[in-house]
Amino acid sequence: MSGKLNIPGFLLLITTAIGTLLLQSCVKDPVLATLTTGQATDITINSAVISGNITDNGRAEITARGFCWGLNPQPTLDDEFVPSGTGSGTFSATVSGLEPNTRYHVRSYAENSVGVAYGNDVEFVTSTAPPSVTTVQVTNIAAVTASSGGNVTYDGGAQITSRGVCWSTSPQPDITDFHSSDGTGSGSFPSTLNNLSPATTYYVRAYATNGSWTVYGDEFTFRTKLSDADGNLYNTVIIASQLWMTENLRTTKLNDNTAVPEIQDNAQWVSLTTPEYSWFDNSISFKATYGALYNWYTVNTGKLCPSGWHVPTDADFNVLETALGMASSQAEVWGFRGTDHGLKMKNTSGWDENGNGTNSSGFTALPGGYRYGLDGIFMLQTTITYWWTASEHDADRGWYRRLDSSSDQVYRASTSKKGGKYVRCVKN
């Protein structure tokens, strides 16, 4: 009958409804994801690699994940952040644009339909950057000292713990060589270079250390000067195998501190056969430019030049001249020799009658004139110069070299030992 209850069907319906209710009561709603933040790796001055792991998606799809960071603990997406894909499991990313030597906090994050969850807070410190330093040009160059310095223009994000200059006779000096210690911190600083050797080429550059880095400034080269018994300082130049003074000697003492008499009177000058000197025209105003005029007897003491140096022999001048291109066959010739070798020795200014040179040798000869050995008269300043050699021609005469405004050649001859001539020293 249609009015009767279908017991089996009813029971099935009831059973299904109860099962549905039970199943619904067992299904939980989504929650925030669970994740961890790994330690920072590959840390540089401005970046680091961070890893994360989503261990539970909170029963909802992970639609965004990544890392957020800042200077304060517990950073959020309101701070700096970098995304790193979707889904559960491990992930990583590089955080960049950081400052050197700075402490940062970083957390992983993961977003699902419920919201954004964060991992644990991890700290790391970026590396220190190399500082920047410039080198100050070398000044106040003397025989055994000089002045330089530097300027630390950037500390690299850390305290400058040491700074100064380092120097050596070889290029690219560093702090394993001679160096100064000139305080700490950024900014400019002066330096003094001590215990140098006279007439020696040095390389110098500033340095700065900030704990992690030692960096160097640009390199400068300089040559220390030569000092005589009076304390006068001289520039020097290397020409081929020889080291020469580029200025005339102006000492009034031998290198054992024995005084050389200054003789102004003409008659007395030509009568002496002992050491003597004078300034041109008996005026000390010419000292700095031209040096002193000596007789050959002063040269013959063997003590006129600074220790370790000597008055050049006739042969020493021959070596110089052949190094400048003079034919060896002309070296022993009397009178003007060569072609433009005097031009190479003469300064580029100071010579009258269009007699200036190129000074391509660096010898820097100036026309200081001379004192005549027969009467003691001073002659021909600005047009001629003479240098003694240490070589004797005979009992009364010594060899010399001469340059003239009117010639590009070099003159070789001998003359009375009583003449007043200039002296250039050469290293032993």
Q: How confident is the model over 36-48, as a mean pLDDT?
A: 96
* pLDDT, position 157: 87
Q: pLDDT tens for residues 129-149?
A: 999 999 999 999 999 999 999
**What is the predicted pLDDT for the residue at 56?**
96
Report how far Cα 69 is from the mean position of its chain's Cα atoms.
41
Mean pLDDT over residues 13-41, rounded? 75
Q: What is the pLDDT of residue 10?
A: 58
Q: Is the pLDDT of residue 71 over 60?
A: yes
Distances (CA, A) of 90 to 50, 93, 108, 355, 392: 11, 11, 11, 85, 94
Superfamily of domain 132-223: Immunoglobulins (2.60.40.10)
* Amino acid 28: pLDDT: 85
Residue 22: pLDDT band (50, 70, 90) is very low
Query: Does residue 297 contact residue 390 with C-beta atoms inside 8 Å?
Result: no
Q: What residues does each domain of the chain span? A: 34-125, 132-223, 233-427
What whole-number percentage of the chain has pLDDT above 90?
91
Per-residue pLDDT at 75 exceeds 60:
yes
String of DSSP letters for 46-109: SEEEEEEEEEE--SS---EEEEEEESSSS--TTSEEEE--SSSEEEEEEEESPPTT-EEEEEEE
CATH 2.60.40.10 correct for 34-125:
yes
> For residue 1, what pLDDT is reported?
43
Q: What mean pLDDT, rounded, does the chain reach?
A: 94
Q: Count CA within 13 A, CB hemisphere, residue 99.
A: 10
Using the Cα atoms of residue 248, residue 332, residue 243 and residue 297 in order, give the sign of their dihedral. Answer: negative
Name the pLDDT band for 424 (thresholds 50, 70, 90).
very high
Q: What is the C-alpha separation between 419 and 217, in angstroms, rounded? A: 52
Residue 209 CA to residue 70 CA, distance in Å, equals: 28
148-192 pLDDT tens trace: 999 999 999 899 999 999 999 999 999 999 999 999 999 999 999
Residue 360's nearest CA partner among 374, 377, 376, 342 is: 342
The pLDDT, as a whole number, for residue 353 is 87
List, in sequence order, every beta strand (DSSP E) within 170-261.
Answer: 178-179, 187-193, 201-209, 214-216, 220-223, 226-227, 233-234, 236-239, 242-245
Q: Are 386 and 375 in contact (CB under 8 A)?
A: no
Are 370 and 406 spatial neighbours (Cβ–Cβ below 8 Å)? no
**Using an 8 Å Cβ cutoff, are 228 and 199 in contact?**
no
What pLDDT digit, counting tens, does each position of 321-352 carry? 999 999 999 999 999 999 999 999 999 999 99
Tell me the per-residue pLDDT of 230-284, one tens digit each, with 9 for 90 and over: 999 999 999 999 999 999 999 999 999 999 999 999 999 999 999 999 999 999 9
For residue 354, give every residue at least 6 positions away whose Cβ sits within 8 Å of its Cβ, in sequence order, or none.
Answer: 405
C-alpha 276/C-alpha 11 separation (Å) is 144
The reply to whether 34-125 and 132-223 are identical in fold is yes
- Confidence at residue 211, expressed as pLDDT on a 0 to 100 scale: 83
395 vs 416: CA distance, rounded Å: 9
Of the candidates 379, 386, 387, 381, the one whose C-alpha atom is nearest the C-alpha of residue 350 is: 381
